[in-house]
Structure 1
Amino acid sequence: MRQTTVFFVLLAAVLQSALAGAGAIAAPAAAAAAESVPNPTNAQVYFIWPQDGTVINGGKFWLRMGLRNMGVAPKGTDIPNTGHHHVLIDTELPSMTEPIPNDRNHLHFGAGETEARIELPPGTHTLQLLVGDMNHVPHKPPVVSKKITVTVR
């Protein structure tokens, strides 16, 4: 079912791009970049795995992310009620009015991934999910998970 949803989101993005190129849809890029994209008020982002308190042996693991009441779409996709995942590692929430940073503490999944193999060094780490719009800016209101703690041995 997840593959079907991703297929239709991508198909919609291709169709929208084709229509925009034909002049059927006009939206200035500067205006889109300056505003946060609204989202459904009941949208939720969450960790499928790991869960709060999980102990991970070896440091490498599959991170699985969920999103409810919104669609997942690659960066640059201008479709209402969609966005893509960002994982915040050992950091606080960034600005809610600027693009989410892209560094070792802010992992971007701009291709629309809902799972990824990541590696953390030994120790205790916090993880939090934040959904970004087509320009990596958090939605308004932000779609953010609760912060979880994992231990790597």
Structure 2
Amino acid sequence: MSDRNSLVDTELSRHTFTVERGKIRELALAIGDDNPVYTDPEYARSLGYRDVIAPPTFGTCIDLWGGLDFMELCRKLQLNPVNVLHGGQDYEYYGAIYPGDVIEACSVLKKQLHKSKMSILILETTYRNQNGDTVLTCRKTIIERGQVQ
């Protein structure tokens, strides 16, 4: 088990991603959500949005397309990738994400816990648009299993 205490409350990653209408549509199709708010600008405007909006899990796409890859994240967090499990993820939206938005994502290790033969890490990513407005926060739990005896 490595000592990650020095990493708590430090920035792990910062990246910028420009949201494309096509990427919003691709995610909606991939998750099987045919809600026209993700694909039809006129429908979205009729609901009070200025354009189509990104589906709720779009933050993951921003990270996958612009952030750290899995191996780099493991290196930064001193994790053995073979023993890593995804423990959960939740999103808190503060505003819509639109095509053309330039989103800056900043990830921080918020907490590290040890239970039995596991390390549990809580990461938090804050997403801000080009106006500096926080539009989304993602909290992710990563579990590293201990060595099998």
Structure with more strand by fraction: 2
Return the index of the structure with the highest Cα Rg.
2
For the criterion TM > 0.5, the same-fold answer is: no
Structure with more helix by fraction: 2
